[in-house]
Amino acid sequence: MLLIKNGRVIDPSSKTDARLDLLIDKGKIAKLAPSISAADALSLDAVGCIVAPGFIDLHCHLREPGGEISETIESGTQAAARGGFTAVCCMPNTQPVNDNASVTRSIMERAASVSPVHVWPIGAASKESKGEQLAEIAAMQQAGAVAVSDDGKPIASARLLRQVMDYCGPLGLPVIDHCEDSSLAAGGVMREGPRSVRLGLKGMPAAAESICTGRDVEVALLSGARLHIAHMSTRGSLEHVRSAKRRGLAVTCEVTPHHFTLIDEDVQYDSHFKMNPPLASREDRDALIEGLADGTVNAIATDHAPHHPASKDVEFDRAPFGILGFETAIALALGELVHTKRISLMRMVELFTTGPAHVLGKNGNSRALAEGSPADITLFSLDREWTYRAADSPSRSRNTPFDGRKFRGGPEATIVAGKVVYRV
Amino acid sequence: MSHRFHHLLAIEPLNREQITFLLDQAKPFQEFQRYPLKKLATLRGKTIALAFFENSTRTRISFATAASRLGADTMSLQAESSSLKKGESLIDTVRTLEAMKPDAIVIRHSSSGAAEFISRRVDVPVINAGDGTHEHPTQGLLDALTIRDRRGKLDGCKITIIGDILHSRVARSNIHLLSKFGAQITLCGPAMWLPRELECLAPNIRRVPRLEEALDGAEVVMALRIQQERLHEPSLAADEYILRYQLTPARLRLAHPDAIVLHPGPMIRGLEIDPAVADSLQSCVLEQVTNGLAVRMALLFELVAGSTDPQDHAKDSAHASH
């Protein structure tokens, strides 16, 4: 038994914000009350901590199979646990691509033996994510896949997207799309704007994303199935999602911590500022924060994208896209959104818990801190000062622009199925 | 105010004093190019590494000659023969070069930011000889020297730059440099190479897509080379470019009567420039080349030799040669 004492419990599913103790037994929440004593339970003092339902990351890359030099399921999920995540959804752009049940099963089996957190694979939408034929979607779902996506690139055509959505609708699987008009973005390495022109780096216009988001929303209207826009970074995309929601479509979206923290003006000749979608303009970033505050955005997702140091230590235009995300997500959300009073603490917790659960079609109550619920719990502090050191990460990669950054507040402990898998 | 430089990576971060200092340092070396014996001992025993990861003839020869005339040895790495073709990273290649103990590394690379990237990782001075579509700082300096000589001063010049501005490192270095001296800068070219964001580079920049209008009153006219190899987008037909943007005698008459014409080379006669303009008295193309030597000698002297006065060395050599 584990007793979490003296914490401030925040649970968006019941709008609870109260000082409560939590007793965990056999992987489930046994009791939730203002003051619990259990002499035979191991006690975890959560004074000064927020006690929240387990955080879910809808978007990460664990690189296994095929990219083990950059990350493995083991190293990646350890980093996720340190970041306060109790469940992570890994994208299918591995080698081989997770486009069939045997790859999905191997990921599930590997995770079961080495991962401290739940791993929920996302299957490819098309075979090898090539945008030609549908992948073995139902088989992957039976093996454990929770959504489909050709992430890394957009689902190639409106026609294919329609087929995938039509097929996934009855299966209850959301279709996640990386929105990018490839012809408009071709060759780009950062967001097009004054900074790209100054640095002489080829830009991708914001419209390259928004155009594709617009296409996707129209296809969602046609199909009626669930569509989720990955790592949204432009005002234009946000407007498309907003109007889709107004029309009652099942369209959701996520924003990454780096897109609400950094902007294109921050880009240096340093590949740790190179990601796709690229860092947005200040105006687009401000719009994203507005969307996070007003409910248009459903989730904060990390897009944790490890790349081993040698691959990133090259000329900017030759480096791969992507940065680490797990361990800085909570601290960036606190620092950029909560401490600055852009969103409430309750809203922030929602963006990491019931929000992503809703995207996956899971009942929000599945994340509730209630007696009988699975004991997946994230503890974080609001005020503890700490410095992020990439060198200390269990990740096999170090590609982050936040190395050495000082934070106020961050993950304190991560509990998965009643077991403490990480503690500061 | 210190004039000391450790690297020369770009014009943008320099201030007026630093630029003026470098241009002044180049003066004695301009004169030196006319001496019958063009060899100094200033950098004797020093080695300059020329790391040209992108094809270049004139800039490489200019740096090699500048080094040689200062008495330095050079070692060269060329794109075709380099181990980059074998998959070695830029960092490893440059650090291998550094292990041969050069006193400075001159780098030309097709990636914007490559020189800065390298400078963070080596201990010797790094000179940017052109990085992608970012900057070409020695070109900016030699152009400024040419303008200053012809106009008598650098301040407040009216310059029109014609061509593919978006992809031009020469244009960026010139814009940054001249704007620090109060220039009124007119950028001209096909509109897709003339994005609005260019106006954010510096104060007093205007974009004029029509050449006849852009040339009105210009004291300096710079025609850029059309660098098709750098373009991802569909390129413009050459005839179309000639029709609207070739610098012809008739068009040049719309500029200031004493206007000078610059071109960074290599120049394609009959494309961006009419031969009659290229060969006119207004053209400074060959002066630019000679000034390139002077600027690069001054720079190598500054970065490699340290603090002695180049004037003395030039004088010593002058005596020696008589």
Q: What are A157-172's pLDDT values in tens digits?
A: 999 999 999 999 999 9
For residue A134, give both structure tokens.
């549908």
Tell me, what's the pLDDT at B317? 47
Tell me, what's the pLDDT at A364? 53
Tell me, what's the pLDDT at B34? 93
Q: What are the helix (H) ranges across chain B?
A: 16-32, 58-69, 90-99, 114-119, 137-151, 169-179, 211-214, 238-245, 249-252, 275-278, 285-300, 310-321
φ, ψ for residue A191 (rounded to 5)? -70, 135
Calpha distance A272→B305 (Å, rounded): 36
What is the mean predicted confidence (pLDDT) over A32-36? Answer: 95
Nearest chain B residue (CA) to A318: B111
Sort out which chain B residues have CB atoms less than 8 A from A194's CB and list them: 197, 200
Inter-chain touch A186–B232, beta carbons under 8 Å: yes
Domain spans of chain A, in order of start: 2-50+373-423, 54-366
Please check the confidence at residue B3 and state whether its pLDDT lies above 90.
Answer: no
DSSP B185: E
Inter-chain touch B197–A196, beta carbons under 8 Å: yes
Confirm or reject contact between A205 and chain B (CB < 8 A).
no
- The answer to whether the A2-50+373-423 and A54-366 domains have the same CATH topology is no
Tell me, what's the pLDDT at B82? 59
Question: For A315, which of B113, B169, B200 is closest by C-beta distance?
Answer: B113
Sort out which chain B residues have CB atoms less than 8 A from A200's CB and list them: 112-113, 131-135, 167, 169, 172
Question: For B113, which of A197, A199, A202 is closest by C-beta distance?
Answer: A199
Q: What is the β-pairing status of strands B73-78 and B158-162?
A: unpaired
Tell me, what's the pLDDT at B77? 86
A114 and A147 Cβ atoms separated by less than 8 Å: no
Mean pLDDT over each residue of chain B, to the nearest integer: 91
Q: Which of A98-102, A364-368, B118-122 has the lowest mean pLDDT?
A: A364-368
Count CB atoms within 10 A of the CB of residue B269.
Answer: 12
Calpha distance B295→B290 (Å, rounded): 9
Sort out which chain A residues have CB atoms less than 8 A from B132's CB and list them: 200-201, 317
Dump pLDDT digits (tens) for A311-355: 999 999 999 999 999 999 999 999 999 999 999 999 999 999 999
Domains in chain B: ranges and CATH? 16-136+288-308 (3.40.50.1370), 137-286 (3.40.50.1370)
Sort out which chain B residues have CB atoms less than 8 A from A198's CB and list them: 12, 172, 197, 200-201
What is the mean predicted confidence (pLDDT) over A134-143? Answer: 98
Sort out which chain B residues have CB atoms less than 8 A from A265's CB and list them: none
Nearest chain B residue (CA) to A270: B117
Dump pLDDT digits (tens) for B89-98: 999 999 999 9
Query: Taking a contact as any Cβ pair under 8 Å apart, which residues of chain A between 162 and 201 contact chain B?
Result: 186-187, 192-194, 196-201
A126: nearest Cα among A105, A157, A104: A157
B290 and B5 Cβ atoms separated by less than 8 Å: no
Please check the confidence at residue B5 and state whether its pLDDT lies above 90.
Answer: no
B234 pLDDT band, cuts 50/70/90, is low
B160 and B135 Cβ atoms separated by less than 8 Å: no
Please check the confidence at residue B321 and state whether its pLDDT lies above 60.
Answer: no
State whether residue A74 is helix, strand or coil: helix
| CA distances (Å), origin A109, targets A76, A78, A96, A173, B304 | 15, 16, 16, 21, 61
Sheet-wide strand order for B73-78: B73-78, B47-52, B104-109, B126-131
Tell me, what's the pLDDT at A262? 98
Tell me, what's the pLDDT at A362? 76
Calpha distance B174→A187 (Å, rounded): 26
B221: nearest Cα among B179, B190, B266, B252: B252
Rg of the Cα atoms in chain A: 20
Which residues does residue A126 pair with via DSSP β-bridges, in sequence order?
A: A134
State whether residue B270 is helix, strand or coil: coil
Calpha distance B19→B27 (Å, rounded): 13
What pTM was computed for the model?
A: 0.93
For residue B166, give both structure tokens.
């978006």
Confirm or reject contact between A247 and chain B (CB < 8 A).
no
Contacts of B273 (CB under 8 A, 6+ apart): B223, B246, B247, B261, B263, B267
CA A68 to chain centre: 21
Please check the confidence at residue B61 and state whether its pLDDT lies above 60.
Answer: yes
Calpha distance B252→A369 (Å, rounded): 78
Inter-chain touch B132–A314, beta carbons under 8 Å: no
Active-site positions of A read: 303
Please check the confidence at residue B319 and state whether its pLDDT lies above 50.
Answer: no
Calpha distance A284→A292 (Å, rounded): 12
Q: Which CATH number applies to A54-366: 3.40.50.800, 3.30.750.24, 3.40.630.10, 3.20.20.140?
A: 3.20.20.140
Question: For A314, which of B89, B112, B232 is closest by C-beta distance?
Answer: B89
Tell me, what's the pLDDT at B235? 72
Question: For A200, which of B117, B169, B232 is closest by C-beta distance?
Answer: B169
Dump pLDDT digits (tens) for A78-102: 999 999 999 999 999 999 999 999 9
A153 pLDDT band, cuts 50/70/90, is very high
Please check the confidence at residue B309 and state whether its pLDDT lies above 80.
Answer: no
Please check the confidence at residue B311 and state whether its pLDDT lies above 70.
Answer: no
For the structural domain made of A2-50+373-423, what CATH number should be given? Answer: 2.30.40.10
Nearest chain A residue (CA) to B168: A200
